[in-house]
Structure 1
């Protein structure tokens, strides 16, 4: 069986199911379903505080997805919180930043989704716009509650992303923050209002991030590209 293992970062918070109401490690099922549909084996990665944990995990997976979720702590990019920046989770920030560092050292394929894109930019030394509606004047990217905003995105011709998803697509978004600067990455997709919706790193290694949620529509192009890169990485070991 040549199905590669794709690690999916998760978040830890209070949850309720059955008779239980306790802390749980969570991730919407759509992430794992999207990986499986693309031919990969999903593996959930809850936050771990042990110093060597990220390197140990990265040595055992073939690709990494940094998933969506809460805001990144503005202290990670040396800024004070905006009044709408809330809910950051220091344990998750630390874990995912360590995973990204270990992935860099191992040459592991990486895909960032929503918050994952923002964290990848921060890991590279970039900063975030903490409340995108202040810039664009509307809430389309995050209408509120559990509703995804429908956004038209245009990709950069010749980019890896365009090769996977085409010249344009309609995506589901749920973000009130966005990437302002992204050292080492190229902007490869924008919304009509100018919001950066995707970035990728030059070179052969698959390092891509999108501001939207492809798992909600099982956009097979992105996950197929990641799983193909994971398979190549596994074969090169």
Structure 2
């Protein structure tokens, strides 16, 4: 079997501070994601494929064997009937649109999907759910435990619970239709969602020490 090709999303941002060229290059843009995502995909036996902005989602998923949605800024509140407020981070509407299209294309083709941090929020919105706008108690807590539902994919990977990192200020509110809550924080906040061939987590497994984290092995093996 060929090495599974995993489509990895990222963000588009200014090149300022990211190069050693002349100042004129500050006006350029870069497409990027943190290298831990690709490192875990490779360690799990996959081949990462960076998905830049502006590509055709269906064409990407025609070729890719799996989809990895990475972290980033807030999902546009307009997508779940809200408006920006003082806590809203810089929005990326073009990224929202591309990732929702990638999700739809992955579902149509039966491709496995792993969604991380912003990814779980985007998945929930794409399935018709809503988000809590600001969760300061989670944004200020670096580590916490999560309880995992029996018979879930996450429980199969970690057991009854896991210790995870916390780097988010938003989270799942009303759960989207067809999604199942499979991980919760001690205060009841949703930390994991699952559907057929979909695992979404609020924490950042790509930043944890053991490589690969089991979520990435699941993604590659599911191909």
Scaled by the length of structure 2, the TM-score of the pair is: 0.91
1:210 and 2:201 correspond: yes
- Please state how far the C-alpha of 1:17 moved relative to its aligned partner: 2.1
- What are the Cα deviations for residues 36-76 of structure 1, in whole angstroms up to 9, with x where unaligned? 1111001110111x6xx110000000000111000000001
- What are the Cα deviations for residues 56-108 of structure 1, in whole angstroms up to 9, with x where unaligned? 00000000011100000000111122320121111111111111111121111
- Please state how far the C-alpha of 1:211 moved relative to its aligned partner: 0.3
Aligned to 1:179: 172
Secondary structure, counterpart of 1:131 in structure 2: coil
Q: Which moved more, 1:212-221 or 1:53-62?
A: 212-221
Aligned to 2:120: 117
Secondary structure, counterpart of 2:188 in structure 1: coil
- Please state how far the C-alpha of 1:142 moved relative to its aligned partner: 2.2
**Structure 1 stretches of 5 or more lacking a match?**
231-237
C-alpha separation in 2, matches of 1:79 and 1:58: 30
1:97 and 2:97 correspond: no
RMSD over aligned CA atoms reads: 1.4
Runs of 4+ aligned residues of structure 1 deviating over 4 Å after TM superposition are: none
- Please state how far the C-alpha of 1:219 moved relative to its aligned partner: 5.1
Aligned to 1:234: none
Aligned to 1:24: 30
1:39 to 30, 45, 48: 45
Q: Report how many residues are paired.
A: 214
Scaled by the length of structure 1, the TM-score of the pair is: 0.86
